[in-house]
Structures are given as structure tokens and as C-alpha cells.
Structure 1
């Protein structure tokens, strides 16, 4: 059973650098390996579905199954992360996902791979991944300490964006070696992550885990978490603004593709535009921890929203694809700064025994908004065109920025 080893430095124990903490290195190292494996599988899975069925629609449905699973299971996962032993939960989730992923190359070797199996693996991996994420977010403040949360979240984001930048090339090379290679690598990556988690000495929660709960008790837990979130005006207001921003973000992928095609960009150039966005997000993640510690949350949130609103129209105004890349880079720097500041504040002020529920509620809200934006983008582009949608989304961002500016709650947030 985990016991808490205090991570917050005291006057008698000078602050060590974040990267000098062995437990943080283990946590982020295991996460990095797992994210690389996930990136390989993310590219390979739709290709395997198309090879198996010849249907791009089925490929999209298999990929979308994990998002739908998150939306359905997210609140329950948060409640379980607050009740169960978080460290054991994360280890078992990694082992379960590794086993599920390994069934794909095993079935392929036996010439028994089917579409129902791919759906089952996607959905079950989505369930375990959602539970892992809830436990991971809840445990982080206990491993690094509240004072170093901005730096830790910035580092996590930076590594995720680093994988995003180079992941597609690595994934393509792995798939070229064999269709099942990415799945085998991903299965091993989950094992590496589980071993790294097992080696962490810090406690993952402040109180001993409680007993398993009945469905009625879980519903009561979820209600308590939502009630606590609703009563915290700063978190509630900023979460709603973040969800509004996620609506725009969800529409962004298809919108940028269509705008790049209007500029006669070839597929390689479109890929470079998204690489530029990834580099921008990486740079923003590196800056995020320092900015979150230096500036009040409210002022930082307002500034970031206005920068997004003012930058977004340039997606439709630039005359060449390489200027589109420059806009994507600049606009992508902003999001990690805002996200790290908001997440640091929320994790710091939320009681440890509520972190899973509160984090899952906010993430479910923003993920759902992003999914709505993604689904609405295609119809909106067909109806009014990509440039008009760009200006409409810029107006939406300006409304969010104005609402934040006029909100006394946001302006006073520190």
C-alpha cells in the first residue's frame, strides 16, 4: 500500500531541480515510451482496418471509438481514480493495454484478425486509457509537489509535442518494416511504462485507498465531484472558456487542410504545416511553466485568448502555404501556456481525494466540445466555405476573450 512521501520542499530541504527527481524521471520516461508506441499504433490502426475491409469509414469509426469511450466513461474513471490505489491502477491499466494490443499481431500471425477484434481492442484500450489518465493526473501533484506543477506539466506537454513532431515519420518507417510492427512496439512500450511506474517510490495519493464502491456510491461520488467543481467559480468559469476554445480546436484540423489545399499545397507541404504547429506547441510547452509561475492566472488566460483571437484570421488571409505554416506555428505556441496555467491552478486547489473526479469532469467537457467541433467542421466548410468558417471561429474566439476580460472572476484569478 502506498504511503505519501512529501514532495514539497521545506526550508530545511532546498528545492532540487525537477529533472533531478528520480521519481519524476521515471514517470515521464515511462510516459514518453508509451506515447511513442501510441503514435505508432495511431497511424497503423486505420491502415490495417482499410487493408482488412477496404473501408475508410470503418477506419474512422475504429479511431473514433476511443473518443466516444472517453466521453461515456470519463466521469466514472475519475471516481474510480479517487477510490482505488492510483499506482496499482495505472500499472494494471498499462499491463492490460499491452496485452490487448499484443492480441492484434498474434491474431494476424494466425490469419485470424477480424474487424470485431479491432473494435474490441480500441474500446477496451479506450476504457483503460481513460482510467490511466484520470489516475495519472491526480497523482502528479503528489510526485512533484505543488510548487513544481507548472514545470512538470510543461515538461509533459513538451515531450508529448516532441513525439507529435517526429512521430509520423517514425510511425511510417515502423509500418514499412511490417504492418504489425507498430502494434508489437506499442505492446512492449506499455510493459516499459508499467515497470517505470512500479519503480516510483513517492506516494500517488495522500490517503489510503477506499474499498470498491457500488454503482450507487460511484454516482454519489461523481455528484460530489461535480458539486465541488460547480461551487469553485474560478475553475468553473475557466473550464467553460476552455471548452469554448476546444470547440474551435476541434474544427481546426480539417479547416487547415482545406485552407492549405486552396493555396495549392501538396500533401508533403500540408504535413509541414502541421509539423510547424507541433513545433509551436513544443515551444509553448517549454515556456509554459515559467510564464505560469510569473504571471497571475487571470491575466495570462485573458492575454492568451486575445492572442488566439487576433492570430486566427490570418489562416484565411495568408497567400502561400509557408505563411500558413508560420501562422500555425505562432498560434500553436499559445495553447500550452494557457493549458499549463489552468491545469496547475486546478490541481493545486483541488483536494487530493477529489482530483480524479474534477479533472475527469473538466476533460470530458473539453473533449466533448472538441468532438463537436470536429464533427461540425465538415458540414460548416461545405455550407459557407473554409475562409468564412475561419472568420466565424475568429469571432467566436474574440467573444471568449471578451467574456474573460469582462469577468471579474477571471481577472481576479491568481
Structure 2
């Protein structure tokens, strides 16, 4: 093992810079959760059209997929801290225009479309810089524990966020947007207070479009020459395809069991609780077991548990299945992210991270878009077994792959 797993992690909670980074991220994440519920409800209230609500939400995904690779290249060229500060400030100002326009009675769909696109651009660029900065904020021996802590806090927020979002929206349609605007500015303030450098010493450099494309190509070339990262990224894309399809599938299965909206929310809360447990276990399991074993185990557990979504006779058993399936993924993700961030040179970390996120995010988006048609064509129970079979194929490929079996952190 190398320093990443052999070093004894120091207490992260005594590290001021990590507390500021995590605190800012959580405040911003809570604001995003509040707005993610409020935005489609606002669009429906303004237009009466659920189609337009879907378009507004879909725009952010499209922007992410189109701009992701370029954002990674920019994050590697520009000063990461300054980039993140400008992105958070920009998102705060853009979001604040929504309640301001509503107060003056001039809020309309063109503005909401523009805010969605511009926020999508800034969010994508922020994410590329943010994911690349963590190894420079904490010591290498603390990286696994830091990723586990980030996952645990995010999962906790995910559990309570939906309920809080509903309550906040009842206080007023613009309250979630006002809160989110403030949360972006609070995140920017926390980033400003971090003393550690966000990247290794190098001068920020501008780039022509041709140079940016060359940067993207260099990052993809480096990624392709790393068999462990490349193989696991492709397996993750296959798993993300199933994940995107599975979200609507679980909703339909719960409705077939006559689950009401509150009970459906509890099912997904169970998934969040499972993810929280997995995040808490991740640092210890990552130090004890090799990356390949964790990858293979995750895929087989998902493949064996997934059919029970179709077999569950009551909605609360769906909750048990969602909890069980959600435990393993955070453990593997922490192990994989620890490995990838540890071995990727700082100068290309944004490009490599963005390439993988674009691949897996694109696969999830394809699964989400295809889910409705597949459910209509096959029926929810049959599709459940098809997806379980797909997971079994991925697990078998991982098991037979020497690259995966021998992967260690």
C-alpha cells in the first residue's frame, strides 16, 4: 500500500481549511436542494405546463454534458480559487434576479431559461475546479477520510433536504431562491477564508479555442493510458445508465404498490440513509480492502439486491431494498476517488475528473430519458429484472478483468 492507505488519518475537524470547504459546500448544497423543488413548481405556476418545467431542468443537464470537458480544461488553466469564487458569486447574483424580478412583477420564462443556462455553465465550471482542489486542501493521508466525511454530510443533507424544501416553499415561492442566492454568497465567503492553495504553483494562462481542444485531448489521452481508471470509468458509466433508468422505475413500482407521495419520499429517504451509512464506513473499508475487491463487491451486491424491487410486496419493503442497495456505492466511490485523485497529476486533474463525470453523467441522462419508454414497452417488473441482468453482466466483466481484480489504492 502507499501513503494514501498506510498513513493514519489526522482529525479533519481540527483543520480550519477543510471545515470552511465543507461548510460552504453544504450550505450551497442545501440551497440547491431548496431551489430544485421550487423551480419546476414555479414554472408550472407561471405557465401551467409541466413540459416547460422539464425543459428548464433539462437545460442544466445539457449544459453540463456539452460544456463539461471544456470546463475541466479551463479549471486546469485558471486559478482554481478565483474561478470558484467568481462562479459562486455569479450564481448568487443570477439566482437573486429571480425574486427581484418577481417583486417588480416582471418575472417570465425567458429570464428563467437564461438563469438556468448561465447557472448551468457556472455550476459546471465550479464543479471542475472544486473536485480538483480537495487534494491540495487536505494531506494525502487524509484524502480518504475527507471524501468519506463529504459523502456522509451530503447524504445527511439529502435525507432532510426534501422535507425542508417542501416546508420552505410553503413560506413563499421566492423564499427558496432568496435562500439559494444567499447560500452561494456564503459559500464564496467560506472559500475566501481558506488559506491553503487550491492547486500546485503555476501561472494562470489564457487559451485559444484550439489550445483548449488540445488540452481536452491531452487529458483524454492520459486517461485512456491508465487502464485502472479507464476500465472502472467504463463500468461506472454502465452502472450510471442503470441508475438513471432506475429512478423512475422505483417510483412506478412504489405507485403499483399504492404508495402515497409521503411513503414514496420515505423510500428515497431510506436510500439516503443507506448512502449515509456507506459514507461513514467508507474510510475504514477503503484502508482495509483493495480497490478492485470493493468494485467487484459493489456490482455483485447491486445485481443481487436489485431484483427485490420487483419482488417487494409492500412499499416499506421497497424502503429496505433501497437502503441495502445504497450502502455499497459510497464505499466504492470513496475508494475510487481516493485512487484517482491521488494518481492524477494536479495540472490535468480538472480535465480527467470532468471527462469521467461527463461520461457517467451522460450515461445517467440517457437512462433517465429512456426510462419512461422502457417501462411502457416492458412493464416495470420486467424492466427491473433486465436491469438486474445488466448489473450482473457488469459484475461478471469486473470479476473477469485482471485490471480490476488487481487494482489497489
Per the normalisation by structure 2, the TM-score is: 0.97
- Of 338, 347, 354, the residue aligned with 2:341 is 347
- Of 249, 256, 266, the residue aligned with 2:250 is 256
Q: What's 1:372 paired with? A: 366
- Of 155, 165, 178, the residue aligned with 2:159 is 165
Is residue 277 of structure 2 the alignment partner of residue 283 of structure 1?
yes
Distance in 2 (alpha carbons) for counterparts of 1:168 and 1:148: 31
CA contact (8 A) 2:309 2:318 kept: yes
Q: Tell me the matched-pair count.
A: 405
CA contact (8 A) 2:149 2:279 kept: yes
- Of 166, 182, 198, the residue aligned with 2:176 is 182
Distance in 2 (alpha carbons) for counterparts of 1:303 and 1:329: 16
SS in 1 for 2:68: helix
Distance in 2 (alpha carbons) for counterparts of 1:73 and 1:85: 19
Distance in 2 (alpha carbons) for counterparts of 1:106 and 1:15: 46
- Of 89, 92, 95, the residue aligned with 1:98 is 92
SS in 2 for 1:323: helix
Q: Deviations over 1:35-71 (max 9, x none)?
A: 1111110010001100110000100110111111000
**Structure 1 position 154, deviation (Å):** 1.3
- Of 39, 56, 78, the residue aligned with 2:33 is 39
Q: Deviations over 1:280-322 (max 9, x none)?
A: 1111111112211211101111111111111000100111111
- Of 387, 392, 395, the residue aligned with 2:381 is 387
CA contact (8 A) 2:10 2:142 kept: no
Q: What's 1:18 paired with? A: 12
**Structure 1 position 164, deviation (Å):** 1.2
Aligned-pair Cα RMSD in Å: 1.4
Is residue 254 of structure 2 the alignment partner of residue 234 of structure 1?
no
Q: What's 1:5 paired with? A: none
**Structure 1 position 127, deviation (Å):** 0.5
Q: What's 2:215 paired with? A: 221
**Match runs of 1:267-282 below 5 Å:** 267-282=261-276
**Match runs of 1:353-364 below 5 Å:** 353-364=347-358
Per the normalisation by structure 1, the TM-score is: 0.96
- Of 151, 154, 170, the residue aligned with 2:148 is 154
**Structure 1 position 14, deviation (Å):** 8.7
Given the superposition, is the C-alpha separation of residues 292 and 209 from structure 1 closer, same or farther in structure 2, using an over 3 Å criterion? farther
Q: Deviations over 1:66-116 (max 9, x none)?
A: 111000000000000100000000010000000000000000001000101
Is residue 192 of structure 2 the alignment partner of residue 194 of structure 1?
no
Distance in 2 (alpha carbons) for counterparts of 1:218 and 1:205: 19
SS in 2 for 1:264: coil
Residue ranges of structure 1 left out of the alignment (5+ in a row): 1-7
**Structure 1 position 15, deviation (Å):** 5.7
Q: What's 1:4 paired with? A: none
**Structure 1 position 156, deviation (Å):** 1.2
